Amino acid sequence: MAAGLDALNLLDTLAEVVFRTDAEGCWTYLNPAWTRLTGFSIAESLGNRFISYVHPEEIEHTIALFMAVVVGGADHCHHETRYRIADGTYRRVQIRARVLRDDDGEVVGNMGTIIDVTDARFGAEMAGEQSALLELVPTGGKIDDLPVGVVIYDPDLAVRRASRVVDRLVGTPTRSGDPVDELSLRLRPAAPGGPALGGEWGLVATARRTRQAQIGDLDVLPARAAAAQDAAAGRPATGEPQEVSLGPVRSLRATVIPMHDDSGTQVAVVFSDITDLRRAERQQAALAYLGQRALTTLDVAALLNEAVELVASTLAVERCDLIECIELATQTGGRASRAGFGEAHDDVTAVPDGAGGAGGVVGVARIADVGGSPRPTSDVQAHVRACYGRYGGSWNAGLVSAAPGSYISKVLSSCQPLVVDDLSGHPDIATERWLQGDGAVASVGAPIGVGSRAFGVLAAHSGTRRWFTKDEAHFVQSVANIIAAAVELAQMQEDRARLAVFEDRDRIACELHDLVIQRLFSVGLRLQSLTRLVAEPGVERLSAAISDLDQTIDEVRRTIFDLRPPYA
């Protein structure tokens, strides 16, 4: 017993994650290093499948690797992959696992260790960049020839040299003699609480203080936010004021390398563009979070509000709407199903990407140039069910048209994400007040559900003209698919609860019929047989009691019919 406790105490002190899974790949043991690495508690992680923490791009490779080990009869596996952590980002880890088999050779699980190698990878990248810089800087080599942006600061932290790539990445010119804080004001930490470029405890100061290279991810501030920074610092604005979108900021990885010589410590800052990587990670983290919420919550209204806020923040747009189509009344007075939105329109062109998206999405539709007025419409009822960034909330959206030719109809009929780069260029939908009421200029929308099961549209809107990418459009479609699945799940649970009530009522009805009525009828027969054995004054009272029993039996029968479910 003591030896077992000592072993557990030893596992608790290890820096490496020690794990064990069952045959299904679900965690059955994790030591405290798991929480230190990922931020997830052990209690919430046990029972989850290990594959759910693997980066989506590496899931197929990981499964193939483990299957090869199991089928091939091997007992060890060693590979590197990316694991999701609590803040939605990923860490690169090295996994060594041993397959566990029973006496019959059947796999019953695996156990092993997980080691965080992210910093080691960064160190290797920094070593390569540092070597390249050490060759270029002393010899006066052309840093403009490098594919990355480079700024070299002298011992007084003033710009000595800067490549033109920096100007393109940051969006403002970097001049010789500028202090490090000039560039730092245009950048912010990518993660809340992360290190900034400048400042007393920023990346540059830390690199000089420790004489070791530092690395951090930074986001470029939008022009509007940068102008506010200039105003707060008392600096004059550069150029004419412009209305610039808050839309997707550029993300940079900054590697700060201290270089020592006789004149003091110079600092070289290397900027690499990781915008696509950060955008993909944010979208994947958002989808993972929303998917988990969809499986664990029964509050659909709260989920819809979270979804629109998540889409707006992930895509960095000003507004996001979720429109629900209630019903479609035809001109003849009848009712048509929502499949009527599936009619093809000539003014919607599909741009296939060959990759295929979630939920059967195979491309992105962009509205072609169209003229004229909207076509005759049916009476379609639709409303904004949830929104983010809309002044006055959902109730202030006003009438939402989902008739043929409208924005909602075009999204539903395209059966895939629909991108409108400039609403002003499409007069057929530009007049819809709910769409442009708060200054929407560009939009991307995706149907929630498919075909006759589509019940609405999820749409993100930008305040300036913007070319939404296919990845962004497919992200909106993926969120719409999660919402559709959550709504269907909630509907199934509601139907299941209703069915349980019907089954309970049916059971009660059967018991009333088979037990209560039969007993009442039997009592009535016995009382009726007694009328021949009692004197005349008692016969009248017995007949009245038998009549009351007959009336009670009739009332119970009516109650049984009322209890029967509609399908019975």
Average pLDDT score over the chain: 75
Q: How many CA atoms lie within 13 A of 65 on its CB side?
A: 15
Lowest mean pLDDT among 74-78, 206-210, 365-369, 432-436: 365-369
- pLDDT of amino acid 26: 93
Is residue 384 within 8 A of residue 321, CB to CB? The reply is yes
Rg over alpha carbons for the chain, rounded to the nearest Å, is 34
- pLDDT of amino acid 11: 61
Terminal Cα distance for the chain, rounded: 62
Q: How far is CA 227 from CA 231, 242, 243, 378, in A?
A: 6, 10, 11, 48
Strands 363-367 and 418-420: parallel
pTM: 0.56
Average pLDDT score over residue span 522-542: 75
pLDDT tens digit string along 170-190?
Answer: 888 888 899 988 898 889 888
| For residue 335, pLDDT beyond 70 | no
| For residue 164, pLDDT beyond 90 | no
Orientation of helix 275-296 relative to helix 300-315, angle to 10°: 180
Is residue 263 within 8 A of residue 158, CB to CB? The reply is no
Among candidate residues 175, 187, 186, the one with its CA nearest the CA of residue 216: 187
The encoded tokens of residue 198 equal 């400048």
pLDDT-derived band at 395 (thresholds 50, 70, 90) equals: confident
Lowest mean pLDDT among 22-31, 45-54, 191-200, 354-363: 354-363
The encoded tokens of residue 480 equal 């719409």
* Secondary structure string (H, E, C) spanning 240-254: CCCCCCCCCCCEEEE
Orientation of helix 470-511 relative to helix 300-315, angle to 10°: 170
Which residue type does 405 have? Answer: G
Strand pairing partners for 123?
A: none
pLDDT-derived band at 96 (thresholds 50, 70, 90) equals: confident
The encoded tokens of residue 331 equal 């001109």
- pLDDT of amino acid 120: 66
